[in-house]
Amino acid sequence: MLLKENDRIIFAGDSVTDMGSTNPVGEGLFDNLGQGYVRRVDNLLGALLPQYHFRITNSGIGGNTSRDLKERFDRDVIELKPDVVSIMIGINDVWRQFDTPAALDNQVMPKEYAQNLCEMIEKAKAAAREVILMTPYYMEFNTLDGMRSRMDVYGKICRRLAEEYEIHFVDLQEVFDKYFRTRGENGEYAHHSTFIAWDRVHPNQIGATLIAAAFLDACGLKLSLTEE
């Protein structure tokens, strides 16, 4: 297991990370951690590893692109002296290309996305013992769908950079694809994504648990819920 006693684990991201947490940084009791996968990680670690103490910090802010996260990365991640940094960003980089196509200044194209990630990964590697990069995703099984195919481009950038920088990698797109295949018959995508995310992005508690389990798998806890 890559987690150690008294580790401070910081989750950086957008609304999927935020999920109602205290902004810009949430931690501690009540709803400060939000109601998404960060809270599920905290719950699972507390329940399964009671002999350990971890400080969980939610540095997600809804609506953020990688450009936004990069601008606040020093304040909300590096200056907090993390031991483990998780980065999941990119959904809004893609989404803005579809929901506000005329607002070109709000869009983050693949080249800039890769540059933004590189800068954040380099800072995180210098500050923390472990860095985990999780892909953006879109819960659409049809890979020819415009937004899904575009999201896959950004996911491949994450995979490439994780290999180049030799950091831990979680393919959340594959996590959700495998989940829906597993629930179906003969590999069919039987359950529509609204079962766990009304807009194919923001997960309910089932979806949040899937992300949390995938993150903890990367940490060596082997909690995968999507084995076929």
Q: Which residues are catalytically annotated? A: 15, 199, 202
Tokens 């947490």 belong to which residue?
21
Encode the chain in three state secondary structure: CCCCCCCEEEEEECHHHHCCCCCCCECCCCCCCCCCHHHHHHHHHHHHCCCCCCEEEEEECCCCCHHHHHHHHHHHCHHHCCCEEEEECCHHHHHHHHHCCCCHHHCCCHHHHHHHHHHHHHHHHHHCCEEEEECCCCCCCCCCCHHHHHHHHHHHHHHHHHHHHCCEEECHHHHHHHHHHHHCCCCCCCCCHHHCCCCCCCCCHHHHHHHHHHHHHHCCCCCCCCCC
Q: How far apart are CA 73 and CA 79, in angstroms?
A: 9
Nearest by Cα to 9 from 121, 122, 128, 90: 128
Give backbone dihedrals phi and psi of 87, rounded to 5 degrees, phi first.
-120, 120
